[in-house]
Amino acid sequence: MCLIVTGESVCVFRERVYVEGERKSVRDSTGNCLLYECRDRQMRKVESNTCPELNCPESEQITLTDRCCKVCQDIDECAEGKHYCRENTVCVNTPGSFVCACNEGYIRIDDYSCTEHDECTGGLHSCDENALCFNTVGGHSCTCKPGYLGNGTVCRAQCDGLCHNGGSCVAPDTCICQQGFTGKRCETAKVQEKEASDASGVLSVLMFNASKAGHQETKYCLDELRWHLLRGGIYHSANEESVDVLETGKMGKCIDVIDFDKSQIVMARRLDIDECSNGFVECDSRATCVNLPGWYHCECRDGYHDNGMFLSNGESCEDIDECETGRHSCANDTVCFNMDGGYDCRCPHGKNCTGDCFHDGKVKHNRQIWVLDEDRCAVCSCQSGLVMCRRMVCDCENPTVDISCCPECDPRLSSQCRLYSGLLTYNSGDTWVDKCQQCQCIHGEVDCWPMSCSPLTDCEFVAVPEGECCPRCISDPCQADTMFNDFTKTCVDEYGVTRLSGSTWNKHATECSICQCKNGHVCCSVDPLCL
């Protein structure tokens, strides 16, 4: 039943009058919640979606008459000081949340702070043309665009170490090669192997590798520190071998070696060669080279993941379909198009799209800037459907503005590494030992690798002492960490029975004593769990 009250369109539902747009929730005979809204003088059923997950305990969840889903009981965050409003704002309480309103005459920076001047759109900034400008309280900050590196004021193209052999990166993934090299990444030397073989001083020498039987024929050239293997005109690393030479050579100079025998060609200590920057490695275009001490690996780029083959050159990296998997930020009015290594948010023909983004279950407006709920020190922005996030820039002129995000006035705080919930902090470039691993902080990321220990020679038995990381020579065969299963090295027990290497038995009349034939010796110990 509908009627007109004082000229306003209303509805009557269950003996109560509802105005246009007002809602009412009721329960049907089975207990399901139904939501109705007064529209065009009729109470119409509203299709309700699945209720969202609430971030408050059940004791604080209440049911309102105008909705089916429960909501968190409203807390006045403004009055209780449980808000994040910063300078030049006023906290305004809203049902279940709060908003930070800018003071009169100020413009919004993000959801929680405002500034007096819009330096970014007003052309009052110092950002590079390849950087994004973000307004801050009393100023602005600059962040290089994807594909560029720098401090924001100066941004240089990033090629992720793809420009080999001294090539220059002039734009993202674009290299200009030095003379003598060619290829998209300057990875190929123009000189042919035949020309290199005929060059003065290049010899075919036998490489003796102490870890492998036999030998192989190779050609070597020497730089000031290390050998490089020349194969097909392309340099490859051969950093586990060294050769005694009559003279040292400059980069690319090929020299003679002493008359060959295996005493002149021996295993040398591992010397770290940056295979990535020196052009020894050619990763697939979908992967980037990551240098490690004594080694390297090709890591899938952003937008790609390994298909499970884990090929060393990165050929097993395949594109992630962000559109199919829902890992995109395109809002409802745009269409997600998958691209190689990423995606794009496109506006259908004839439709006026807003450029809004969909992030963490919420729609963000184009050019909107906000702080992550789970990380108050991270700022995100919506750029024509794509979400970009960055760490908050610390204000060194007033470092107490946000002590949780900027405990120190350090513009390179994002380059630090924090371990054990922040108890230990290392600056970029610092190295340390942790659990027998050598670790280094590299631009905010911790890279660890097994410690390299000096090789032990003339040792019959070795063991790693307690509290140490590297093995030592020992004389006690029972304390050795390794056991050689040599069937010719047998043992004779107390009864005169011959035991094979590796066999174990209980010592006579002592059930808790266990003996083992180890390295040709009888080694007995007491089992503490047996006592």
Write down the pLDDT at residue 423: 65
**Residue 502 to residue 482: CA distance in whole angstroms:** 11
Position 497, amino acid: V
**Residue 484 to residue 502: CA distance in whole angstroms:** 8
Overall average pLDDT of the 408-423 stretch: 58
Identify the DSSP state of 413: G
Indicate the helix (H) or strand (E) that contains 71.
Answer: strand 71-72
- 306-341 pLDDT, tens digit per residue, is 887 777 788 888 888 888 887 787 776 777 877 777
Which residue from 220, 224, 251 is spatially nearest to 238, judged by alpha carbons? 220
- 83-112 pLDDT, tens digit per residue, is 778 878 888 887 667 788 888 878 877 777
**Residue 144 to residue 158: CA distance in whole angstroms:** 10
- 122-137 pLDDT, tens digit per residue, is 777 888 888 888 777 7
Write down the pLDDT at residue 405: 60
pTM over 0.95: no
Q: Which of 37-41, 46-50, 419-423 has the lowest mean pLDDT?
A: 419-423
Is the pLDDT at 361 greater than 70? The verdict is yes
Q: Which of 249-253, 378-382, 447-451 has the lowest mean pLDDT?
A: 249-253
Write down the pLDDT at residue 505: 82
What radius of gyration do the chain's Cα atoms show? 35
Is the pLDDT at 397 greater than 60? The verdict is no
Is the distance from CB of 152 to CB of 136 less than 8 angstroms?
Answer: no
Write down the pLDDT at residue 24: 83
Helices (H), 144-294: 193-198
* Torsion angles phi and psi, residue 183, rounded to 5: 105, 160
Q: Using the structure block, give the residue that is written with the tokens 């005493």.
A: 263
Write down the pLDDT at residue 268: 27
Is the pLDDT at 227 greater than 80? The verdict is no
Write down the pLDDT at residue 1: 43
Q: Which of 2-16, 141-155, 462-476, 507-521 has the lowest mean pLDDT?
A: 2-16
Write down the pLDDT at residue 398: 47
Write down the pLDDT at residue 7: 47
Indicate the helix (H) or strand (E) that contains 58.
Answer: none
Is the distance from CB of 461 to CB of 480 less than 8 angstroms?
Answer: yes
**Residue 502 to residue 495: CA distance in whole angstroms:** 18
- 265-304 pLDDT, tens digit per residue, is 322 223 345 667 766 678 888 888 887 655 677 888 878 8
Q: Which of 148-152, 252-256, 458-462, 497-501 has the lowest mean pLDDT?
A: 252-256
CA distance between the termini of the chain:
88
